[in-house]
Structure 1
Amino acid sequence: MFETGVSGFLSSDMRLHISLTFIITITASCGTADSRKIRGISPSYKRFYRERKSFLCIDGSKMIPFEQVNDDYCDCEDGSDEPGTSACPRGRFYCTNLSFRPHYIPSSRVNDGICDCCDASDEYNSHARCQNTCWNLGQRERAYVEGQMRTLDEGLQLKQQLIEEGVLLWREKQAQLRELQQVAEDLQIKLEEHRRKKHEAERLREQTLKALGAGDSSVRRENGSSTFNFLDSNKDGSLTVEEVQAKVALVHDEERLLSEDEAVALLGGGRLMDLTLFQHTLWDVLTKADSVKIRGSLDAAGRVVAEDLEASDGEWEATNQKKVEEAYDTVNMEISDLRKKLTIDYGPDWEFLFLNSQCYKLKVYEYTYTLCPFNQVTQRSTAGADVSLGRWGMWAGTPHNQYSQMVYESGEPCWQGGSRSTTVTLTCGTETALRSVREPSKCQYIMDFQTPVACQPVLKQRGIHSEL
């Protein structure tokens, strides 16, 4: 009767208001229940938590009433029934972290009074007063990522330039190798010619000595060319007054320098004499040795004269041969060094070639580290002693990026045994520099080496959630 009276007493508008209020309250209660049940769940797992009479543990091990989900009691061994509480030791709580990166935390951290999620969702029922810091964190991360992307873009542009330079440098070195090989071939021909001439000079010397000793004037005349070559100091094919004065002397007054008139007279009245004229004039005078002789001879028989002449030709050829041999050896060493450099893997586009013959230093406390790519790594103490931390070994990057890591091996022996070695990790940057050095284990070194050629194109930047 009370109910009827009240109902009759209330107007239709008031009844409508109460009905709407009741519906909203019930809906809000249902929403709260749904929220409780799906708290700590990532979007990809929400399909497992749809409202139904029963819940199957995600590992398939057990079926429980749906009311037991998130009831602060662990029923599933995998902890999947308590994603929003700390009841299960193996459970995980999902931080949505809108505007930042979502991630999981152990369920044991839920409602422990410490804010682990930047959106404070892990402390929904604790005394902690957590502020939502996701927006600020996202802003900082976005700024960092944008900076990284700018660095990547600039690094890729620089890398392209270095690739172009690497291709040109590779072609230059190939051309240089061909040129050196041609020089080596030419020097080998010259060396063989000098050896032949030296052998011929030694043969003529021996032959001349025998002929002079036997008084064979025809052979003596035939060997006039050797005497002419000896007197022709500048090897221009002509004898001059000065050359005659320098190497011809009077038999009975060897110390006195011939006058200009005396030298001109020996040259037949002129100031120049070629080989043909020499063999028919001055050579006869010298072989008789009754008035003039080659300076340094001791008698008029011609024996010492011949020895001096042929020995000087042999010495001349020996000197030239030695010079050519030295040049030949130097060129061959350059060829060997260049071939060794060209066998190194400088990347698919020779982009790392510019690092060859370069060295980069970094001081860490009392040590100065030097990285010479494709050569060696050294460590120098303040005392000035250099220690080898390894010589170039190989590329040792991942299968997807082989050129991301270098290994330098067989350095100086370590006091614990074995030898020192260094692993160099290459990272993307707008400049080429050695950034850090550390020694995680004794005599094993790790370096961070930054360079544009380490930059790799990417389709998207990892680590940024789509909600940012």
Structure 2
Amino acid sequence: MKYTLVVLAAITGVCANVIGAPPADQHLYVPLEDGKWRCLGNPDVVIDYGQINDDQCDCPDGSDEPGTNACSRSGNGGTSADLFYCHNEGHFPGFIERFKLNDGVCDYDKCCDGSDEYKSGACPNKCKEIHQQFVSFSKRLRRDSAVALVQRDRLIKEARAIREKLEHKIDKLKHHQKVNGDGDNGEAKDTNDDNGDGVRDDVMNKIVRSVDAVEAKIALLESIMTKMMDNYNPNFNDGAVKEAIKDFQNYMSEQYNDDDDDDDESSSQLSKLLQSLKLSPSSSSSKVNEANEVNKQIKQYQTDIDIFTQELNRYYGKDDIYRALNDIKISTDYGDYKYKIALLDSIHQDKVLVGKFANFDEHDESILYYTNGSKCWNGPHRSARIILVCGKTHEIISISEPEKCEYTIEMTSPIACHELTEEDIINRFKVDFSQL
């Protein structure tokens, strides 16, 4: 009778509802006119339509058993692969692994209609109650998400302000560098400046002014002695005056005789003298010290500029948002340990280093990786990943160790928040079994 009904359904164009197959795959289970059916992955294999879901694996690809765990399915062209489809009327459809079928466990988080235990019927339909939980959860999540999005916007503004502050510091340092010395190479003009600029020019100018003053005094003295020599009365027997006039006459004679020959030599000697004075620490020790201090300060400016520029160029995720979390530290007791997390620095388990921040996930910046932690006893170096989920605050939700010394930490953070879709809410919803 069952076989006849299947054939009639095929003849009248009505597609029988094959348990375990999703609506998108139901068309694959339409029987042939003769009441036969071709295996999806092996169409050369033809079986009776009534052999579908008979708890016997008749097709090589297992496509004849979408509603039982009699055989594995793969590569059969369907969308459900090795999963059993639950209609979940009144809630949202779901899939469950077929090896969990009829195992005596009510998997209400996947099949709220209890269809995963269809043989025994031991699991009553709870879709109404579970959907009420979902509605309450959805309202709460949307409300919290709205608050978290405000927090996220605040973090973006903080990050932008931090960046602007860094840029201002760099500009200010460059200005000081330019004012105090050569802004191109970051060094003050020192005592070896071949261009004669800066501090040494001040010293040289003072020397030149001093020489000019001496020459002026010599010229005045020559003028006085010339007048004395021209107007001197030799009848006065003044030995001191006579000797002074004689010495002056000899001086003037030597000056005029050597004037032409010694111009170049004098100029050269003066240049050498000035150069020696120019390079002599004792001639301008205070100025040299001042130059050294200026040079030291400008080098410090350059060091600070390099540090701030490196920080400015560091990648802090989209919108630069992680820059606002540089100083945020999370501490919590979990299990037998106290965990301390500085998101962009390190993770500690008590005093043991779990890992140093290495990088963001290439495809999802809400996942952070940490490496090079303390070495485990007879094992690898510790490492971790942090998975951020949307939340108003930064709080640790769970910590697990799926592999030896490899930790997975789930945390809430406004950073992971975005405008929620229905799919986002469904994926985050967890059934409260205690309320069923």
Q: Structure 2 length as normaliser, TM-score?
A: 0.59
Residue equivalent to 2:142? 149
SS at match of 1:351: helix
Q: Which residue of 2 aligns with 1:232?
A: none
Distance apart, 1:98 and its partner CA: 1.4
Tell me the residue number matched to 2:324.
Answer: 354
Q: Do the aligned partners of 2:16 and 2:30 also contact (CA within 8 Å) in 1?
A: no
CA contact (8 A) 2:396 2:412 kept: yes
Q: Which residue pairs with 2:49 in the alignment?
A: 66
Point out 4+ residue stretches in structure 1 off by more than 6 angstroms: 34-37, 198-205, 310-313
Q: Which residue of 90, 95, 101 maps to 2:86? A: 95
The question of 1:341 aligning with 2:311 is answered: yes
Read off the aligned partner of 1:153 and give its amino acid letter.
A
Residue 302 of structure 2 corresponds to residue 332 of structure 1: yes
How much does 1:339 deviate?
Answer: 0.6
2:388 match: secondary structure: strand
**What SS class does the counterpart of residue 418 from structure 2 fall into?**
coil
The answer (yes or no) to whether the contact 2:331–2:338 under 8 Å persists in 1 is no
Change (3 A) 1:85 1:349: closer
What does residue 370 of structure 1 align with? 341
Distance 1:363 1:203 in 2: 72
Report if aligned partners of 2:39, 2:64 keep a CA contact under 8 Å in 1.
yes
Q: Give how far 1:102 is off.
A: 2.9
Q: Give CA deviations for 1:126-162 in whole Å, capped at 9, x if unaligned.
A: 3x54321122222223333443333333333332333
1:40 to 2:31 alignment: no
Which whole-Å CA distance do the structure 1 matches of 2:119 and 2:369 have between them?
Answer: 53
Task: Return the offset for 1:48.
Answer: 3.1
Q: In 2, distance between residues paired with 1:93 and 1:408?
A: 38
Contact 1:101 1:463 in 2 (8 A): no
Which residue of structure 2 aligns with residue 394 of structure 1?
359
Would the aligned equivalents of 1:397 and 1:404 in 2 still touch at CA under 8 Å? Answer: no
Partner SS, residue 394 of structure 1 = strand
Residue pair 1:57, 1:63 contacting (<8 A) in 2 also: yes
Alignment correspondent of 2:415: 453
Q: 2:85 and 2:346 mapped to 1: Cα distance?
A: 46
Paired amino acid for 1:397: E
Equivalent position to 1:57, from 21, 36, 39 = 39
Contact 2:156/2:324 (8 A) holds in 1: no
Structure 2 vs 1, CA of residues 454 and 397 (structure 1 numbering), >3 Å: closer, same or farther? farther
In 2, Cα distance between the equivalents of 1:124 and 1:437?
36
| Alpha-carbon spacing, 1:65–1:40, altered in 2? closer, same or farther (3 Å) | same
Higher mean C-alpha deviation, range 321-330 or range 169-178: 321-330
Q: CA deviation at 1:453?
A: 2.5
Task: Flag structure 2 segments of 5+ consecutive residues without an equivalent.
Answer: 74-81, 192-197, 219-279, 428-436
Q: Offset of 1:88 from its aligned partner? A: 4.7
Q: Are residues 80 and 353 of structure 1, via their aligned partners in 2, closer, same or farther at CA, if it must alter by over 3 Å?
A: same
| Closer/same/farther in 2, CA of residues 421 and 70 from structure 1, 3 Å limit | closer
1:85-141 Cα shifts (integer Å, max 9, x gaps) = 565565764322212343344556555555444323344443x54321122222223
| d(CA) in 1 for partners of 2:70, 2:102 | 11
1:159 aligns with 2:135: no
For residues 417 and 113 of structure 1, what CA distance do their matches in structure 2 show?
A: 40
Whether the 8 Å CA contact 2:159–2:320 is kept in 1: the answer is yes
Q: Which amino acid aligns with 2:18?
A: I
Q: Secondary structure at the match of 2:151?
A: helix
State the AA in 1 paired with 2:355. Answer: L
What is the alpha-carbon distance in structure 2 between the residues aligned to residue 71 and residue 414 of structure 1? 52
State how far apart, in whole Å, the 1-side matches of 2:70 and 2:397 are. 46
Query: Does the residue aligned with 1:352 lie in a helix, a strand or coil?
Result: helix
Cα distance in 2 for residues equivalent to 1:200 and 1:423: 62
- CA-CA distance at 1:77 after TM superposition: 3.0
Match of 2:386 in 1: 424
Aligned partners of 1:393 and 1:361: how far apart in 2? 20
In structure 2, relative to structure 1, the CA distance for the partners of 1:440 and 1:180 (3 Å cut) is farther
Amino acid at match of 2:319: D
Rounded to whole Å, the distance in 1 between the matches of 2:349 and 2:200 is 52
- How far apart are residue 320 of structure 1 and its match? 4.4
Gaps of 5+ in 1: 1-25, 209-216, 223-309
1:196-242 alpha-carbon deviations (Å, 9 max, x no partner): 6589879999xx9xxxxxxxx969x99xxxxxxxxxxxxxxxxxxxx
Cα displacement (A) at 1:369: 1.8
Alpha-carbon deviation of 1:449? 4.5
Check whether the contact 1:397–1:406 (CA below 8 A) recurs between aligned residues. no
Structure 2 distance, partners of 1:335, 1:360, is 31
Deviates more, 1:312-321 or 1:76-85: 312-321
Residues 369, 380 of structure 1: 8 Å contact kept: yes
Contact 2:54–2:65, Cα closer than 8 Å, also in 1: yes
1:224-303 correspondence runs (5 A): none
**Aligned residue pair count:** 329
Q: Tell me, yes or no, if the aligned pair for 2:331 and 2:340 is still in contact at 8 Å.
A: yes
The SS at the match of 2:89 is coil
CA distance in 2, matches of 1:125, 1:93: 14
CA contact (8 A) 1:70 1:83 kept: yes
Q: Shift of the alpha carbon at 1:377?
A: 0.8
Per the TM alignment, residue 182 of structure 1 is displaced from its structure 2 partner at its CA by: 0.9
> Hey, what does 2:271 align to over in structure 1?
none
2:366·2:387 contact (CA, 8 Å) conserved in 1? yes
Amino acid in structure 2 at the alignment position of 1:428: C
SS in 1 for 2:181: helix
What's the % identity of the aligned pairs? 25
Judging changes above 3 Å, is the alpha-carbon distance between structure 1 residues 337 and 138 closer, same or farther for their aligned structure 2 residues? Answer: same
Rounded to whole Å, the distance in 2 between the matches of 1:438 and 1:113 is: 28
Which of the numbers 123, 126, 132 marks the counterpart of 1:133?
A: 126
1:386 Cα deviation (Å)?
7.0
Change (3 A) 1:36 1:108: farther
**Secondary structure at 2:346 match in 1:** strand
